[in-house]
């Protein structure tokens, strides 16, 4: 067996272009929602004294063709070690023989493809005249979302808030965002709002969100955490990347069901069904969890730009 090719984060960054990745993510989501992808909901186990998580995310995409899996960890203690809390590798396999083709650093792929999927949601569901982008958070996801969302809407203002003042200052300097004093100040008046925090309790309250807003919720990927006020989820049209995953993993969805606020039918669509905004007044929420098919499509772009496919 040939030794699989290895791509470190620098290699991956050099080969992923955000505009191209956004298009690839839309294609990946369409394939998934059309039932043309074999993929279980990820397997997750908790480990260690810090309550870290380890996830296994396999997928097979006949249309590419591509076969592979991502192994991802979320270690909260890494923030005090000078390491990213999210670590990952992606392994691609020959879909005919099962032999290993490549091993790719998955940390940046996860960061970039998550933002690219959010951009797909904004392209479909944000108002066409959206001008103000509000970002809650100041880490790597905040940066990638700022880059990706600016490619699908012409924002005249980007606002940001983070509980860590120094990180917020750095983020504002690097992106040109306005650093504001509270989450409420960011959300009120924003046309597109992104929650990319590590909070396990709501960071966006319903009364802050005006009609016509598109809300992108990226955190709270376990069933006992929520980052959105349930009153907001209740009044919004809710779109997810995967119904099956949302009903198992998304606390913003499953906690509301358990509380009797709504049923599974409150999920209006998967993003891969390419839903459109009904009118300029409706509030839309995209709950992002992340799918293995997205990682495979992103990995294929890396391999294609290296001459490996």
Task: Please report the domains of the chain, with CATH numbers, ordered by start residue.
Answer: 5-109+293-304 (3.30.1780.10), 115-290 (3.40.50.720)
| Band (309; pLDDT cuts 50, 70, 90) | low
The Cβ of residue 141 has, within 10 Å, a number of other Cβ atoms equal to 24
Q: What's the average model confidence in pLDDT over 74-88?
A: 89
Q: What pLDDT sits at residue 94?
A: 96
The answer to whether residue 20 scores a pLDDT higher than 70 is: yes
| Band (82; pLDDT cuts 50, 70, 90) | confident
Q: What's the average model confidence in pLDDT over 2-13?
A: 94
* 250 touches 223 (CB < 8 A): yes
- As a whole-number percent, the residues of the chain with pLDDT over 70 amount to 99
Q: What's the average model confidence in pLDDT over 32-49?
A: 95
Average pLDDT, the chain: 95
Give the residue from 153, 205, 213, 156 showing the smallest Cα distance to 189.
Answer: 213
pLDDT digits (tens, 9 = 90+) for 24-36: 999 999 999 999 9
Give the residue from 41, 43, 44 showing the smallest Cα distance to 52.
Answer: 44
pLDDT digits (tens, 9 = 90+) for 232-285: 999 999 999 999 999 999 999 999 999 999 999 999 999 999 999 999 999 999
CA–CA separation, 300 vs 293, rounded Å?
A: 11
- Length of the chain counted residue by residue: 309
Q: What is the CA 228 to chain-centroid distance, rounded?
A: 15
Q: What pLDDT sits at residue 1?
A: 67
CA–CA separation, 39 vs 295, rounded Å?
A: 12
Find the range with the poorest average confidence among 151-155, 233-237, 303-307.
303-307
Strands 43-47 and 5-7 turn out to be: unpaired
Instruction: List, in order, residues 6 or more apart from 35 with CB less than 8 Å away.
Output: none
The Cβ of residue 232 has, within 10 Å, a number of other Cβ atoms equal to 23
Buried residues in 168-201 as b, exposed as e (16+ CB within 10 A): beebbeebebebbeebeebbbebbbbbbbbbbee
H-helix or E-strand spanning residue 93: strand 86-93
pLDDT digits (tens, 9 = 90+) for 167-218: 999 999 999 999 999 999 999 999 999 999 888 899 999 999 999 999 999 9
Q: What pLDDT sits at residue 28?
A: 98
Give the residue from 198, 213, 222, 219 showing the smallest Cα distance to 153.
Answer: 213
CA–CA separation, 309 vs 300, rounded Å?
A: 8
The DSSP line for 36-102 is: --B-PPPEEEEETTTTEEEEEEEEEETTTTEEEEEEEEE-GGGGGTTS-SEEEEEEEE-TTT--EEE
Q: What pLDDT sits at residue 79?
A: 82
Q: What pLDDT sits at residue 86?
A: 87
Q: What are phi and psi of 53, to 5 degrees?
A: -125, 145
Tokens representing 165? 């003042």
Q: What pLDDT sits at residue 76?
A: 87
The answer to whether residue 80 scores a pLDDT higher than 90 is: no
Q: What's the average model confidence in pLDDT over 1-22?
A: 94
Alpha-carbon distances of 283 from 189, 192, 216, 295, rounded to whole Å: 13, 10, 11, 29
Give the residue from 94, 40, 89 showing the smallest Cα distance to 65.
Answer: 94
Q: In the beta sheet, which residues pair with residue 93?
A: 67, 100
């Amino acid at each position: 067996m040939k030794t699989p090719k290895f791509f470190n984060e620098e290699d991956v960054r050099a080969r992923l272009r955000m505009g191209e990745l956004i298009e690839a993510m839309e294609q990946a989501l369409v394939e998934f929602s059309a039932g043309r992808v074999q993929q279980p909901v990820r397997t997750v186990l908790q480990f260690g004294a810090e309550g870290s998580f380890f996830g296994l995310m396999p997928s097979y995409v006949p249309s590419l063709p591509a076969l592979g899996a991502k192994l991802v960890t979320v270690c909260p203690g890494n923030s005090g070690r000078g390491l990213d809390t999210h670590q990952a590798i992606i392994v691609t396999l020959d879909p005919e023989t099962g032999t290993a083709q490549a091993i790719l650093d998955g940390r940046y792929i996860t960061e970039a493809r998550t933002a690219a999927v959010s951009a797909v949601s904004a392209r479909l569901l944000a108002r066409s005249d959206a001008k103000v982008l509000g970002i809650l958070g100041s880490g790597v996801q905040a940066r990638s979302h700022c880059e990706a969302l600016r490619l699908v809407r012409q924002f005249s203002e980007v606002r940001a808030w983070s509980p860590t003042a120094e990180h917020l200052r750095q983020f504002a300097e690097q992106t040109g965002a306005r650093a504001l004093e509270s989450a409420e100040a960011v959300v009120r008046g924003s046309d597109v709002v992104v929650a990319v925090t590590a909070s396990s309790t709501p960071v966006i309250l319903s009364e802050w969100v005006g009609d016509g807003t598109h809300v992108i919720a990226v955190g709270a990927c376990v069933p006992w955490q929520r980052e959105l006020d349930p009153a907001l989820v209740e009044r919004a049209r809710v779109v997810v990347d995967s119904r099956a995953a949302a009903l198992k993993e998304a606390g913003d969805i499953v906690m509301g069901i358990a509380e009797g606020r709504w049923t599974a039918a409150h999920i209006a669509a998967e993003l891969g069904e390419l839903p459109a905004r009904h009118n300029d007044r409706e509030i839309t929420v995209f709950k992002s969890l992340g799918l293995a098919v997205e990682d495979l499509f992103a990995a294929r772009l890396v391999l294609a730009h290296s001459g490996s496919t």
